[in-house]
Amino acid sequence: MRVLKILCFVGAILISVSSARAFEKGRAGIGFFGSAHVPMFNFGKWYSISPKLGLSYNYVVNPKIIAEIEYHYSRMGGGDLAERRFRWSVDDNEHLSPQVSQKMSFNSIAANGIVHLRALGQGTTPYLTGGMGFFWYKNAVSGLIFPGQTGTTLDTGLSLSAYEDNWPALTAMLGAGVSIVTSERFLIDIRARYNIMLGELRPLEDWGLLKTFPLQAFDLMVGFKYFW
C-alpha cells in the first residue's frame, strides 16, 4: 500500500505542473506500477492480498490504442497453514503443524492491448484492456505433520515430504481503467483487472485446502508512464 501512495503522490505532482495533451501515433514509452494483488476463490484460501510491482514498455498504435508489454513480480503473503489444524483419526483431536512453511511468488510477462473510449474530459479517458501472457509461479510447502500415522502418540517430527510447484501458467487478463494525460510525455494509469491463470495448487484436504485450478486473482493498479 505504501507503493500505491507514492505513485499517487507522484501523479498528483505531474498533474499540478502539466497541461493535458494527446499522445501521437508512433510514440513509445516506459511505465511503472504498483498494485494490490487479491487472490480469489480457492486461491484466496491459500494466500491473502499482496503487493505487486511491475514495469512496462508501451507503443502508441494510434490515438486510441496503446500496445503494452508488461513484466511484474509478486510475493504472496498471508498463508495460514501454520494456523490450520488437521484431525488425527487416532485421538480424534485437531493438531497444528508448528514447523510448517509456505512461500509463493510470481514472475510474469504479458502482452496487453489498451483501447481508449470517449474522453470524460480534457486528458482523462477511460479504457478497456485485455491481454495474455505467462505467469511463472513457485509455491513451496514444508513441515506439515504426516496425518496418516498410526500409534498412540502423534509424532510431530514425522512430516510430509516438502514439495515445490514451479511452473509457467498461461494467463488471460481482462480489465478496465482510466488514462490521465498530464503532459505530452506523462500519463497516469489507474486500472482494475481480473487474471485467470491456468496453473494449479495441489490439494491439502486434511487442512481444508482443495485442489485450486485455475488460479484467479484481481488487481487494483496505479502507475505512471513516460513517453518520448
Per-residue pLDDT of the chain (228 residues; tens, 9 = 90+): 555 555 455 444 444 333 334 468 889 999 999 999 999 999 999 999 999 999 999 999 998 999 999 999 999 998 899 999 999 999 999 999 989 999 999 999 999 999 999 988 778 999 999 999 999 999 999 999 999 988 889 998 899 999 998 899 999 999 999 999 888 888 899 999 999 999 999 999 999 999 999 999 999 999 999 998
Predicted confidence at residue 185, as pLDDT, reads 87
For 6, the grid coordinates are 507514492
HEC per residue, 73-135: EEECECCCHHHCCEEECCCCEEECCCCCEEEEEEEEEEEEEEEECCCCECCEEEEEEEEEEEE
100 in Cβ contact with 160 (< 8 Å): no
CATH code: domain 2-78+109-131+170-227 is 2.40.160.20
* Residue whose C-alpha is closest to residue 19's, from 120, 121, 114: 121
**What residue segments make up the domains of the chain, in order of their start?**
2-78+109-131+170-227
